Every structure is written in C-alpha cells, then in structure tokens.
C-alpha cells in the first residue's frame, strides 16, 4: 500500500487558501481505472473544492477496492452517459452554483477489437460532445483529454535511440481505438481554433499499477497459466520491441500539472495540435525483454522469443496464431480460478485472453521531455520493475481476483 499512501506527497502543488479557492473538478469516467485513481489523488492531496464523478456504471458494480470508498463516495457520484448530449446540462450543473474549473475525460471505450462504430461513439463522439458543450460555457472550464501514445507511426531504430517519438512525430495510429482517439484530438484542435477551447491531450504509454486490468495484466495472467502448465513462455517478435509504460499515479500527477498549465495557457491562432499534446511515459524505456525477464523471475518459468521465422509466419497468419494460443490457455485459466474459489466473470475482471490487436509488431516508444520541461512533471516511478509487478499481483490477491 506504499504507493497509495505516497499519493499525498505527489501533487507538486502548493496547497494554500480556503476550500473555495480551489477548483471544482469534473471527472468523466470517474469509476474507470484512471478515473478512480485520479479521484483518489485529488482527495488525498486536498486539491479541489468539489469533485463530481460521472460514469455509466454504478459504484456498487464498479469493483472499487476499499481504499477508494471515500474518494469515490456516493455523494460525489452521478450516473450518466457523457456521450449523450441530453446528459450534459445535468452533469455540468452544481448545486453550489459554481462552475467546474477542470474537466478530466477519463471515459470512453477501453476494450480492444471492437467495431469502428463503437469507437466512433465512445471515443470520438464522447470527446467531441463534451468539448463542444464546454466551449459554450463562460467562463470556460479547462479540458484534459486522456489520449494514447499509439497515435504515432512506429518509430525506427534511429528515433528510438534518440529517446522516442516526440509530440511532433509523424501521426499514423495502428489500432482502431487510437484512430478514433486521434480524430477526437483533431476535433479538440478545431474547437480551440474556432471557439477558444482550452484543452490539453495526454498521450499515454501503457498505464499500469495496482488493480491493473489492461495490457500488463494480460501478460501476468498468461505467465501464471504457463507456470501452471510448466511450459516455456515464448513471445512473438523481438526482445527489443518497445512497450513503453507509465504508472497510474504518475499519470495522475501529470494530469493535474496539465490542468494547471492549461488554465494559464489558452490557445492562440498559431497553436497546433502538437502544441497542446504531452507524451506521458516513464524513464524505463520498457521493452518486451524487460517484461519477459521480470515474469521469468516472478513465476520461475523459462521465457524466450520465437525468432524471425515463426514471427514472420505469425505476421501472415495472426488470426490462427491467436486462436491457437487462446485454445491452449483459457481452459487451464478457468480451472485455476475455480480451484482458487474465484468467481471468474463476476468477481474477477482478469483474463489471459489474447487479442490480435495486442500483438502488433509496432514500437510504442515515447519521449516525455516536453511534459517534464513545460509542465514541470516529476516522474516518481522510473520504470517497470519486479517490485512493481509484485505489487500488482498482491493487489489482485487482496480483492480475490487471482488464482
């Protein structure tokens, strides 16, 4: 629990004045993974006068661990679908009569392999509707969009050796969700130019931390199955493939820094989308070899890489390769969960199920120099380590998600 306690020292802001001097904050997707940690961060640092969490999911169904109970309490929660324009007036009306100063958009579709129409509604339209509404409010709130670093063209070795993609790198999203996120960014920039929308977009690396159910969680589940099967876990592509990471608590501190910067730096006629985007990534330059080495130690299994011949075959036949992997791992996982008395499907959101979109031979390699220099963001967790992954597993065990 050390990280959660450490939240109290991470704001990088001087907390002074009365409660009324502090901003009122709206978090869209407030019960999602980043949203709940952001609410906790704000609560622990006493940064806001008021906080409202908006989510489609009720708190009782959101699998909130105990430490989030106060930060995500019922009196701060409003159930609403922020992608629907009919919900917006109610979401932005406070009983106190105050206006929200900061609006954080942590909402939207996070699952992979969905139809493009799903992402168009739950990523692009969600952001566009929110921002259009915000631009009409006077004084206008500052809008912080949580985007993705998977909007850049996969960098070559020269770019990687020089520190990764900067915010001005060539844009070529390689996932369906990242294409929708880029369209959302383009809509924000259009509103900034035409209506003066004050916004920032955070382009995130793979976010991880306690209770993670995202990219790294699948790798941990996969390793646990191979431990049970006493088999070597071999990874596709090369050990040098970049899968850059950032801890969720560092994401929260970056988001608050971005909100403060946004409030002091309105858009100009000359500003571009890259000017208001910030890469958020740790200093570890995480690659597949990093993750393979750590899970080998934690689970006491052999790990390796398939080599160029099999990887080339997989690239041409990825659907069948993914199907074969899932056929091998899903039944043992279900049996392990049953033996452990874990209610798989209701009690635990974890699964080793692999999706084709997660197995792209593309580098996620970001450069966070701009966020550090312009926002004054300090990274507290330098990179992915064995201790960090053990903390994640321990968090699963606390809430009975783990076999």
Q: What's the rounded Cα separation, in Å, for the pair 150 and 172?
A: 8
Residues 6 or more apart whose CB falls under 8 angstroms from that of 125 comprise 83
Confidence of residue 2 (pLDDT cuts 50, 70, 90): very low
Residue 108 pLDDT: 86
pLDDT higher at 19 or 170: 170
**Which pLDDT score is estimated for 359?**
77
What is the percent of the chain with per-residue pLDDT over 90, rounded to a whole number?
72
Q: What is the mean pLDDT of residues 247-258?
A: 98
126: pLDDT strictly greater than 90? yes
Average pLDDT, whole number, for the chain?
Answer: 90
pLDDT (tens digit per residue) in 185-241:
999 999 999 999 999 999 999 999 999 999 999 999 999 999 999 999 988 788 999
* Higher-scoring residue by pLDDT: 122, 245: 245
Q: Give the pLDDT band (50/70/90) at residue 7.
A: very low
The pLDDT value recorded for residue 320 is 78
CB-CB contact of 100 with 92 (8 Å): yes
**How far is residue 167 CA from its own chain's centroid?**
18
Which residue bears the tokens 């300090």? 378
- Asked if residue 107 has pLDDT above 50, the reply is yes
CB-count exposure of residue 380 (10 Å: 0-12, 13-18, 19+): middle
Give me the pLDDT at residue 379, please: 97
For position 72, what pLDDT does the model report?
A: 96
Sign, CA dihedral 200-203-208-212, equals: positive
CA angle at 345 for the pair 339 and 351, rounded to the nearest 5°: 80
In angstroms, how far apart are the furthest CA atoms of the chain?
64
- Beta strands, E only, 233-310: 233-235, 245-247, 277-280, 303-305
Look at residue 4 and tell me whether its pLDDT is greater than 80: no
Secondary structure (DSSP) of 87-137? GHHHHT--TT----SEEEE--S---SS--HHHHIIIIIIHHHHHHHHHHHS
- Which pLDDT belongs to residue 374? 98
Burial of 173 (0-12, 13-18, 19+ CB in 10 A): middle
Q: Cis peptide before 139, with omega less than 30 degrees from 0?
A: yes
- How much is the average pLDDT of 257-272? 92
Q: How far apart are CA 246 and CA 276, in angstroms?
A: 20
pLDDT > 50? residue 14: no
- With H, G, I as helix, E, B as strand and everything else as coil, classify residue 261: helix
Which run of H or of E encompasses 28?
Answer: strand 24-28
DSSP state of 242: B
Length in residues, the chain: 403
Task: Give the model's confidence band at 21: pLDDT under 50 very low, under 70 low, under 90 confident, else very high.
Answer: confident
pLDDT in tens, 68-87: 999 999 999 999 998 888 88
pLDDT number for residue 345: 55
323 Cβ neighbours under 8 A, 6+ residues apart: none
Structure tokens given for 308: 């160029």
Look at residue 16 in the predicted model and tell me its pLDDT.
41
- From the list 17, 79, 10, the residue with the least C-alpha distance to 43 is 10
Summarised one tens digit per residue, pLDDT across range 300-343 is: 999 988 765 456 656 666 777 788 888 899 999 999 999 998 87
Give mean pLDDT, residues 264-280.
92
- The predicted pLDDT at position 13 comes to 41
In 3D, which of 256, 222, 220 has the Cα closest to residue 378? 256
């Amino acid at each position: 629990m050390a990280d959660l306690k450490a939240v109290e020292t991470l704001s990088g802001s001087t907390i002074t004045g009365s409660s009324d001097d502090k901003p009122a904050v709206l978090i869209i997707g407030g019960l999602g993974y980043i949203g709940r940690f952001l609410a906790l961060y704000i609560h622990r640092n006493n940064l806001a006068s008021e906080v409202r969490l908006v989510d489609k999911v009720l708190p009782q169904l959101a699998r909130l661990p105990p430490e989030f109970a106060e930060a995500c309490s019922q009196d701060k929660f409003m159930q609403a679908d922020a992608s629907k324009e009919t919900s917006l007036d109610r979401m932005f009306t406070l009983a106190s009569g105050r206006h929200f100063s900061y609006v954080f958009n942590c909402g939207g579709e996070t699952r992979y392999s969905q139809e493009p129409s799903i992402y168009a509604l739950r990523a692009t339209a969600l952001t566009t509707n929110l921002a259009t509404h915000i631009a009409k409010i006077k004084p206008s709130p500052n809008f912080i969009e949580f985007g993705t670093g998977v909007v850049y063209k996969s960098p070559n070795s020269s770019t990687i050796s020089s520190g990764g993609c900067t915010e001005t790198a060539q844009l070529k999203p390689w996932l369906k969700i990242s294409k929708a996120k880029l369209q959302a960014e383009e809509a924000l920039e259009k509103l900034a130019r035409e209506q003066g929308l004050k916004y920032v977009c955070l382009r995130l690396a793979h976010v991880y931390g306690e209770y993670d159910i995202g990219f790294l969680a699948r790798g941990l589940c996969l390793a646990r199955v191979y431990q049970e099967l006493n088999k070597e876990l071999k990874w596709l592509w090369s050990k040098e493939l970049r899968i850059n990471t950032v801890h969720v608590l560092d994401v929260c501190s970056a988001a608050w820094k971005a909100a403060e910067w946004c409030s002091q730096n309105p858009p100009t006629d000359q500003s571009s989308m890259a000017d208001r985007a910030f890469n958020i990534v740790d200093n570890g330059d995480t690659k597949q070899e990093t993750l393979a080495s750590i899970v080998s130690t934690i689970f006491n299994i052999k790990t390796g890489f398939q080599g160029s011949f099999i990887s080339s075959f997989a690239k041409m036949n990825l659907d069948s390769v993914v199907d074969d992997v899932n056929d091998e791992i899903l039944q043992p996982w279900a049996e392990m969960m049953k033996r452990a008395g874990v209610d798989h499907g209701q009690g635990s959101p974890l699964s080793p199920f692999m999706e084709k979109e997660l197995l792209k031979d593309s580098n996620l390699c970001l450069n966070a120099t701009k966020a550090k220099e312009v926002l004054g963001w300090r990274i507290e967790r330098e990179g992915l380590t064995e201790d960090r992954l053990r903390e994640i597993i321990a968090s699963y065990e606390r809430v009975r998600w783990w076999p």
